[in-house]
A and B are shown apart, each in its own frame.
Chain A
Amino acid sequence: MTIIKKALFSAFFLFLAIVTFGQEKFTLNGYITNAEDGEALIGATIYVEELGIGSAANVYGFYSITLPKGNYTVQISYVTFNTLKETIELSSNQRLDLELQPESTTLEEIIITDEAIDDNVVNIEMSTEKLDIKTIEKIPAFLGEVDVLKSIQLLPGVSSVGEGSSGYNVRGGSVGQNLVLLDDAPVYNSSHLFGFFSVFNPDAVKDVKLIKGGIPANYGGRLASILDVRMKEGNTKKTTLSGGVGTVFSRLAVQGPIKKDKASYFVAGRRSYIDILAKPFTDGATLFFYDLTTKVNYNINEKNRLYLSGYFGRDVFKFDERQGFNWGNTTGTLRWNHLFNDRLFSNFAFIVSTFDYGFSFGENDLDQFDWDSRIVTYTFKPYFNYFLNTNNELSIGGEGTYYKFRPAEAIGVSDGEIRDISLDNKLAFESAVYIDNTQKISDRITLRYGLRYSNFQYLGEGTRYDFVNNNPGERKELVNAERVGSGESIADYGNIEPRASIRYKIGTGSIKASYTRTAQYIHLVSNTAAPTPIDLWTPSTNNVKPQLGDQYALGYFRNFGGGNNFETSIEGYYRETQNQVEYVNGADIFINELLEGDLIGGDGRAYGVELSVKKNAGKINGWLSYTLGRSELQTEGINNNEWYPTRFDQTHNLKLFGEYSFSEKTSISANFTYVSGTPITAPTSRFVQQGITIPFDYFDERNNYRIPATHRLDIGVKWVPGKPGKARKVKDYFVFSVYNIYGNKNPFSVFFSQKEGRVLPGNPTETVANQFSIIGAPVPAISYNFTF
């Protein structure tokens, strides 16, 4: 630990030394915001014409650029906003907060600026996808409900095991290898209604960034990807009310200033009402969800800002008054932005996040069974963003998370006899320190390099279990159990995670390459085709080793056409992982104190090529994304110890999205998807034990059969009521959509079972193969959205 700290500090001072050289320089800094509602513009760029250099605002909209004394013309630009030009006389350090005006028309016309917006070529970032909420809203959605997680599945390198399944897979990684952040808070289960919708209320989302590779050192803890979702801060100019009425749920959001330009609030809520509509058919059973997303922010002064944000959501399913189950997330984030000086920006975040689910069974107080499971985490994240000079931008920080896993708090009452069958809590502490620098070497070359050191302690009070593994792939045998006192370490792991990226400009394009090592200490235990709300997160222990991943990516980025109408990129990636979580035959993951005995580690590898073509402007815009990929595992005791494809391995994954604006009032959008079949395990034979017919694979293979490919076309029409050219007080629009317009029966899985019904003793059973499609018909929907 101390060596790492020393290394970090000496590196830090080295950079301080760099910065003190040279002529007299001054710093221009401030926040860039939207002039209409005061929202920070993440990634807005500032460009100095005279010097031909620039910088970008960080996630809080803060920028800082250090220049020699002089007079400059600076351009501030952001996609879909009018570019702002400012003349600056820089003779001292200067604070300059900037507001950009959104483009006047809703139609996105070709934007031709003096400087081409070719951020994707110039930027050091690779393997990174950004979606703003305006784009997400255009995509025709299932049941007309706009959804963040469904939208990112249209991007290259992102897939899911099937329609309606919860979670997503990035570059052949499992669902549990994605870190999902909502205003810095980890979200442990991002699904509503079993995965048909996500927890992110589109009204509350400002910006979505998915990092698939070249992960900067300030992120860690998961192997495959980081999804960084930022919430809106709330309108600092005026109070607005917006919302929508859809087929599944209704949304309402209120935002406005508490003190003009100083403090604002944002509150958005949703509730599904399909339970109310379905009531006559469901006989007292209900299923619904609701969530509340809220944020308050306060600009204390030029140097200090506070943000408090929270999410609270729950899905509830009841068979009747007493029986049912429910699950939900709660997150809370308090952030404090502080400027130490003109170039040193800092943020301190305090985060609480929980996910829990509960079951209740039993008809009366004498016979019942209640089970709750929960993960609670407390995180502190200090972050320093040091704008050293025009060529170096440094990030230094740390992260400390205290985990409390409560796998089961269960009470059984049987004939009035109460029994507590709860399992022990599991406690752990994860910490990390990192340093990351983005350095412009020349016009051609930019480097980003960083180092992250992470540490994980599995702590008492708890029980240390020791197992022996007699037969690989079979349940491990418990040989020793030992109580470990409070605060004592049961297992201790540390990993150095180097990160590096390079961008090299060639002509109008650029080549980018990156290497990322990541470590993951908590694991999503999910032995099913798609994750369920009752999957558990479990810590690394003396038996369950941390997962490690190494990813290499190489890409070529180039823009074409006037105003860089077409953004294109091609990227290849290769990832190797160790200690991926696999399961013994017949693994039991429910209320099992000895869960560690049912988990085994395997190696993984994933590789592929991603192609992306985007047209951002014009009457017709959209994108094409294509991924050719492979994702495989090798685990001792499974598939004769040979490599086998993962359940979500997809060879081809093609997504096409397009939008066409007929007029100011009407636009149409379409989305086409083609995905190769995912593999499942099929039997060759069957046999009978005690009258039960059991499938048998003579060759003992895993995922040896491909289900058919799936394809689907969705269409949406957006229509703004009222006369053309006449502004209405209420900004509103209707969306009509049809999901799966030609009603293709897309298989989710093929499964093998004995035919329903009881078989008379002595009679043979009939076994069949069935194809299951989650959505086998066109699904029309209508929704109405408004803002005033």
Chain B
Amino acid sequence: MKKTLIISTMIIFSFACEEEIDVTLREAPPAFVVDAWIDNTMTMQTVLVTRTQAYFDSSTPPPVSGATVTVTDSNGDTINFDETEPGVYSWNPEGGSVAIETIGTTYDLRVEVEGETFIASSQLNRVPVIDSIKFTFKEEQNQFQPEGFYGEFLATDPVGPGDTYWIKAYKNGELQNNPFDLNVAFDAGFNEGGNIDGVVFIQPIQDAVTPLNEDLDEIVPFVPGDSLYVEIHSITNEAFDFLQQVIIQTQRDGGFDEIFAEPLENVSSNIINTNPDSETKVVGFFNVAAIEGRGRRLE
């Protein structure tokens, strides 16, 4: 929606200007970061434990070594994540005795590090299958939608409200992972209040798998030979809220968008420090997803 507003103002007023500036920000101590998004596929599952860094520090996030990372399911089975690289804690489900597979199972994450214990909880929720991936040739619609093949996926949200999803698109095997590529759904619509349940995902969500260009001002249609692979990840409602906040906080491409920009706010976190008196802050998210995927190559 907002995109529309931005583009329209850009057309008329070209007196605007934007420049990178130096800003001195208040110094802050680091907080722990837990990046724990695991799923039911048989691929290597990882949990990252790092620290926050100064906003203008563009180096790799500082890893935190020596943590004990476990995930325990509601049956009492525990999965150990072992440190494979500094700050990277991994588990290979292949051939293991425990598997993430039963919908409705809850999972508890536990991270013990430097005398602190962080916990979080998630549930494995259902996910619809993708019926098909479709490419449609479209004439040039306008300067943002040039002529070419547009991709979309077809899937039906199961009946019963409260399902939330993160839809990811891979173009030629590469995950489209710019903030502007974030595509989430509450049932088949944008949010809980939309009340769109048990039907095919609404058009803007289906269409969002065709990515924008680097400058974020034009959709890049697919050309013959390109492949599109779409994944639907089931996420918890809390993770949906989190991603909605991430979208607001990270989809900043400046320009007239700034007139309509929401205030900068900290995004939520479901990681809890077990010691309520501890001064140590922790941010991040834990989610266990069920994944359905489907791909197609444009011939």
Contacts and interface: CB of A to CB of B under 8 A. Distances in A.
- Sorting the interface of chain A by its residue count into under 10, 10 to 19, 20 to 34 or 35 or more gives 35 or more
B200 A417 contact: yes
A765 B15 contact: no
Contacts of A693: 250
Nearest to B8: A317
A768 B58 CA distance: 9
Contact of B266 (A528, A700, A765): A700
A323 B263 CA distance: 29
A594 B263 CA distance: 21
B194 A749 contact: no
Interface in A19-53: none
A60 interface: no
Nearest to B262: A527
B3 to A, nearest CB: 11
Given A319-B143, A528-B259, A585-B268, 19 more contacts: A194-B5, A194-B259, A284-B142, A285-B142, A529-B258, A532-B259, A533-B5, A686-B53, A686-B57, A690-B37, A691-B177, A698-B52, A752-B55, A764-B59, A764-B61, A769-B56, A770-B20, A771-B20, A774-B13
B206 interface: yes
Interface string A694-715: 1111111011110000000000
Interface stretch (B75-83, B98-106, B279-287): B279-287
Interface stretch (B116-124, B224-232, B240-248): B240-248
Contacts of A697: 28, 264, 266
Contacts of A162: 259
B210 to A, nearest CB: 12
B58 A764 contact: yes
A190 to B, nearest CB: 16
A759 B177 contact: yes
A691 B35 CA distance: 9
Nearest to A702: B263
A361 to B, nearest CB: 7
Contacts of B30: 685
- Of A423, A474, A749, which is in contact with the most chain B CB atoms at under 10 Å from its CB? A749
Contact of A748 (B11, B48, B244, B259): B259
11 contacts: A193-B9, A195-B259, A282-B11, A325-B8, A421-B194, A684-B28, A696-B283, A698-B281, A773-B16, A774-B13, A775-B15
A228 B28 CA distance: 49
- Of B8, B56, B194, B202, which is in contact with the most chain A CB atoms at under 10 Å from its CB? B8
B277 interface: no
B202 A751 contact: no
Interface stretch (A179-187, A345-353, A362-370, A566-574): A362-370
Given A685-B31, A695-B264, A771-B18, A287 B200 contact: no
A683 B203 contact: no
A284 B143 CA distance: 8
Contact of A594 (B1, B27, B192): B192
Contact of A369 (B50, B59, B176, B203): B203
A776 B258 contact: no
Interface string B130-145: 0000000010011111
Of all A-B residue pairs in the complex, the 9 with the closest CB atoms, nearest first, are: A776-B17, A698-B28, A592-B193, A586-B245, A593-B193, A684-B28, A753-B252, A319-B142, A594-B193
B179 A692 contact: yes
A593 B161 CA distance: 14
A687 B283 contact: yes
Nearest to B154: A415
Contacts of B259: 162, 164-165, 194-195, 528-530, 532, 748, 774
B195 A689 contact: no
A359 interface: yes
Interface string B170-206: 0000111111001000000111111110011111101
A758 B214 contact: yes
A412 B203 contact: yes
Contacts of A786: none
Interface string A668-690: 00000000000011111111111
Interface string A584-615: 01111011111101000000000000000000
A92 interface: no
A119 interface: no
A652 B15 CA distance: 26
Interface of A: 162, 164-165, 193-196, 274, 278, 282-285, 287, 317, 319-320, 322-325, 359, 361-363, 367-369, 412-415, 417, 419, 421, 423, 474-475, 527-530, 532-534, 585-588, 590-595, 597, 647, 680-700, 702-705, 745, 748-754, 756-759, 761, 764-777, 779
A362 B59 CA distance: 42
Contact of A768 (B5, B56, B258, B263): B56
Contact of A694 (B246, B256, B260): B246
A287 B145 CA distance: 17
B66 interface: no
Contact of B254 (A317, A593, A772): A772
B253 interface: yes
B63 to A, nearest CB: 11
Contacts of A779: 15
Interface of B: 1, 4-5, 7-9, 11-13, 15-23, 25-31, 33, 35, 37, 48, 50-61, 138, 141-145, 154, 174-179, 182, 189-196, 199-204, 206-207, 214-216, 241-242, 244-246, 248-250, 252-256, 258-268, 281, 283-285
B58 A287 contact: no
Nearest to B247: A586
Contacts of B141: 319-320, 322-323, 363
A287 B5 CA distance: 11
B18 A772 contact: yes
Contacts of A320: 141-142
B249 A369 contact: no
A318 to B, nearest CB: 8
Nearest to A162: B259
Contact of B249 (A274, A690, A695): A695
Contacts of A771: 18-21
Contacts of A748: 258-259
B283 A769 contact: no
A590 B259 CA distance: 17
Contacts of A595: 193
B144 A417 contact: no
Contact of A770 (B250, B254, B263): B254
- Of B28, B192, B214, B258, which is in contact with the most chain A CB atoms at under 10 Å from its CB? B258
Contacts of B207: 367
B177 A761 contact: yes
A374 B266 CA distance: 32
A703 B262 CA distance: 12
Contacts of B265: 585-586, 681, 702
A699 B204 contact: no
A421 B202 contact: yes
B295 to A, nearest CB: 18
Contacts of A368: 203
Nearest to A764: B60
A647 B9 CA distance: 22
A412 B185 CA distance: 15
B177 A414 contact: no
B195 A593 contact: yes
A766 B57 CA distance: 8
B16 A684 contact: no
A646 to B, nearest CB: 10
A381 B183 CA distance: 49
A320 B192 CA distance: 31
Nearest to B192: A594
B214 A773 contact: no
Contacts of A534: 1, 5
A766 B58 contact: yes
A475 B25 CA distance: 29
Nearest to A417: B200
A37 to B, nearest CB: 35
